Amino acid sequence: MTSLLLEPLQQYPAAALSSTLVALQETQKRLPPPHPIWLISPKVWQQLRSGVIPLWQATCDRWQELPPNASDLKALALEMTHQLPPLDVGELEMVFAACHHFWQQQGGESHLVLTSYLWQETQDLPWSVGSGTVLRCPSLPLCHQAIEKTFAALVRAKNLYLYWQRGWDFCQIKVAILLYPLSSIVASGWWIRTNPTLKAIASGVALPHQGIPLPPRGIALTPAQEQQLQQACRGTPSHLWVWHRSQTQVWWGQCLPEPQPATLPLKPLERTLIAEGIAAAPGQAIAPALVVTEPCAPAAVAGRILVTQTIPPHWLPLVSAAVGVICEQGGLTSHGAILARELGRPAIVGVANATQQISSGMTLFLDGHRGAIYQLPSEPLPVVATPSLQTSSPAAVKRLPLKLMVNVSQVNALRLLRSLPCDGIGLLRSELMLLAFLDHRHPCHWLEQGEAEQLRDRWVQHLCKFMRAIAPRPLFYRTLDLRPADYRQLLGGHRFEPETDWGLRGVSRYPHCPELFHLELSALAIAHRLESSCPLRIILPFVRSAREVSYCQTALAEHGLVSSAGVELWVMAEVPAILFLLSELAPLGITGITIGTNDLTQLLLGIDRDAALPEFNEDHSAVRRAIAQLIQEAKAHHLSCSLCGEAPSRYPHWLPWLVELGIDSISVSPEVVTQVLDQL
């Protein structure tokens, strides 16, 4: 794990910096800002890039004969992103404490500015290659997350294309990140000494990395202030300067190597709307389509938009390899949509006749925000894939009326979990987690072949990854809830799965296959011992009777997974029968209930969660009444109560309603955590 190294900008050796940063050093000596400024050392990128340089070199050798296309760029970007090691907070904790001290002294609003600078030898790379971020009401986890995203942006497909097209040597590029706090800012603006007409002024904090500066507006500088800035940058090369102004003074915040973006002029994008559906996972993607009706190798899907009729969970490798997903069937709570959101792949479901309307090779623009699919001209386009951007919001500094946790199943989410402002993993979907290491074999097939120990070891390894990432926050692990339709497709599945999809769901399966249940508990016990700093909570799924819970408690005790060992037992409240069972379950010693809105909704309303019926959803009055009753019953029996699902992020009136009912916690997808925090 690479540690963050930060130093005050004025103390950093000028010989190790780009000419732009040296110019900033000089001007800030003449016109000191009222806040500290740090630089994330170029040494950090030198350590991070060690795993991606061989990939770049090997790819460039191939590109000498055949120039890159969209699929090549996206596939390389994905592979390089996965090779970037995680960042330890290192010195960031000390720096953030100093920022917090500055905000307390200044009062008013709190902002944290991060800007990346790229150069090679004596040449500054254009500022459009880097990125700028303003965190409002920041926390240490959000700052850490923003820094990781800034480094990851260096290997996005757009930048890789620019490096290759402009002849920049990626292996020699140096990177530094400027970081400084701001308090109550009246205005910010952009200014060029040699071209005073290119000056834009905006109320609050603004950075120009997203495009050409806007025309002047808002609060202007006085002639005296303009003269002050002119004198401060006298003798330095022409740059695009960023200034900030408080009530009493004006100062340079940063400068950028050139005022115009480096990207080539783009022709207007011609597009034709060809289909619409339900926006199931936010983000956008431009890539060739690949229509798939039968499972195929993930390599065939890499860098393409996957178009299919439905997405069974065992297609996880295909969803992971694709840059976007279009599906004829499914709704917002289908497992395909859940996997796409967790993996950060834009997705549209419920697209009628998608596999007939779209053909493989067709260049598509998939807009996962609006649920729209456009056909683009067939000429080569660089692959673009942008997941939903998270909105920065307060975390540790804000007292919340409930605990906010996340639903996960894939280790891909671990990078985000390390710095996400949440209170733990509220739901680890074990049946989806298993798909990552089952090698397309049914778990009972492993047992039948005498490979129980190998399966258990893989189970433990995955569990420990999640526990290490979230510790010391708790992990709520839901034991296996195998849906026959999903697992019947795996090797051996037709022999181990019943034809009906509703009989052996959740805990009702355990007495029929005790070997698998005890193997799971064995893995949990080992992981609990290895990662004791992570509090373990076990949730029993699809509970329909007190007898089922008693059976599970006996098995848990055999493996030492009891309250005296620090393990809490919870039950899922998703079968409508649970509305009448809490008086029987509470005396058994359970700690709490987790309301599963997806299954509760489909069972109460008689719908299929994989079908597109948007008018029947969690916001139905019957579902809300059932949830209110469950919360009230739980409180009456002194049980904790959590709710997992996307309804709190989808319906703005849910959060105040749940808080008023007195719910203890909610658990949502990682990509909407900051959105939910903004509503609290």
The Cα 12–Cα 25 span in angstroms is 9
Name the helix (H) or strand (E) containing 666.
strand 665-668
Residue 19 · residue 221 · CB < 8 Å? no
**Tokens matching residue 586:** 């509470």
How far is the C-alpha of 337 from the C-alpha of 327, rounded, in Å? 9
Residues contacting residue 297 through CB under 8 Å, at least 6 positions apart: none
Q: State how beta strands 665-668 and 640-644 pair.
A: parallel
Contact 462/410 with Cβ under 8 angstroms?
Answer: no
Cβ neighbour number for residue 477 with a 10 Å cutoff: 25
Tokens coding 259: 């005022």
CB 346 within 8 A of CB 385: yes
Dihedral Cα 612, 615, 620, 621, nearest 10 deg: -160
CB-CB neighbours of 197 under 10 Å: 7
Exactly one of 35, 111, 244, 335 is catalytic; name it: 335
CB-CB contact of 177 with 9 (8 Å): no
111 is catalytic: no
Tokens of 10: 């004025």
- Residues 443-459 as b/e (b if ≥16 CB within 10 A, e otherwise) read bbbbbeeeebeebbebb
Measured CA to CA, the distance from residue 580 to residue 635 in angstroms comes to: 14
**CA gap 598, 574 in Å, rounded:** 8
> Is the sign of the CA dihedral 468, 474, 479, 483 positive or negative?
negative
Instruction: Name the residue among 422, 466, 474, 423 with its Cα closest to residue 673.
Output: 422
CB 235 within 8 A of CB 175: no
- Residues paired with residue 245 on neighbouring β-strands, in sequence order: 187, 250
Told to judge if 296 belongs to the known catalytic residues of this protein, a careful annotator would answer no
Over 68-108, what HEC string results? Answer: CCHHHHHHHHHHHHHHCCCEECCCHHHHHHHHHHHHHHHCC
Catalytically active residues, by annotation = 335, 644
